[in-house]
Amino acid sequence: MTDQRPPQWFQPLLTRVGSARAEDFTRLTTPTSGGRESAVLVLLGEQDGTGPDVLMLQRAATLRNHAGQPAFPGGAADPTDVDAAATALREANEEVDLDPSTVTVLAELPKLWIPVSDFVVTPVLGWWHRPHPVHPREPAEVAHVARLPIAELVDPENRMRVRHPSGWIGPAFSARGMLVWGFTAGVLAALLEMGDWARPWPRDRVIDLPPPGAAPAPSAGTDPADEMTGPLP
């Protein structure tokens, strides 16, 4: 039987998220009412040769909201979902064919607000105790899927801040052909700090956000087609 307990490297993060507050992830105050309830799955796994990693997808460039952005699997809650974990696992199954039985849910993080889409998002932290190939189930929604190694995400060469055309500036990561920014990068940056994985990086490195479909910033990773965890759509 597969051991479903997270490995030792997971423990600092697991200890820290127990007392995490919304303020640890964002400067935005989550509204007490309104907003569309949703959840994302922050799924950490491990592979030989690359070590701990996080599952990430890239949304299709034709979507109305968050087009072309890398993101954690997830989406809006359904009335039949019993909790945020159920939403996150259901959405991950629908988006990338993730088998929920291969995931050990460890914690629900504080609710976070995304003003541009008015989603109130609960990140759900999980351990992928039995990894398996995943792939976009609906290419019209998901362009591709990748497992981004933590070692590459914390590499100072792969960290920067991006400037949105609106003037907003926030954290970003460049790895395996993905430029991770926005809400997802904010959550990821906070979790890397909590897990004691973060390394010093040049915070004065600021780039303009590339338009959808543009080549991402250079990274230590390879072409995304070489890092797919399932077949290309």
Q: In the structure, what pLDDT confidence band is assigned to residue 62 with cuts at 50, 70 and 90?
A: low
Q: What is the dihedral of CA 128, 56, 133, 233, to 10 degrees?
A: 160
What average pLDDT is seen over the chain?
87
Q: Above 80 in pLDDT, residue 233?
A: no
Report the C-alpha gap between 202 and 169 in whole angstroms.
15
Q: Which of 106, 111, 126 is nearest to 183 (CA)?
A: 111
Amino acid at the residue 168 = W
Report the C-alpha gap between 202 and 38 in whole angstroms.
33
48 phi and psi angles, rounded to 5 deg: -60, 135
Q: In the structure, what pLDDT confidence band is assigned to residue 120 with cuts at 50, 70 and 90?
A: very high
Q: Above 60 in pLDDT, residue 136?
A: yes
The share of the chain scoring above pLDDT 70, in percent, equals 86
Report the C-alpha gap between 93 and 84 in whole angstroms.
14
User: Is residue 118 within 8 Å of 34, Cβ to Cβ?
Assistant: yes
Q: Above 80 in pLDDT, residue 193?
A: yes
Report the C-alpha gap between 233 and 216 in whole angstroms.
20
Q: In the structure, what pLDDT confidence band is assigned to residue 212 with cuts at 50, 70 and 90?
A: low
CB 44: neighbour CB atoms within 10 A? 22
Q: What is the mean pLDDT of residues 39-45?
A: 98
| Bridge partners, 103 (sequence order) | 128
Residue 97: its pLDDT value, please?
97
Residue 33: its pLDDT value, please?
80
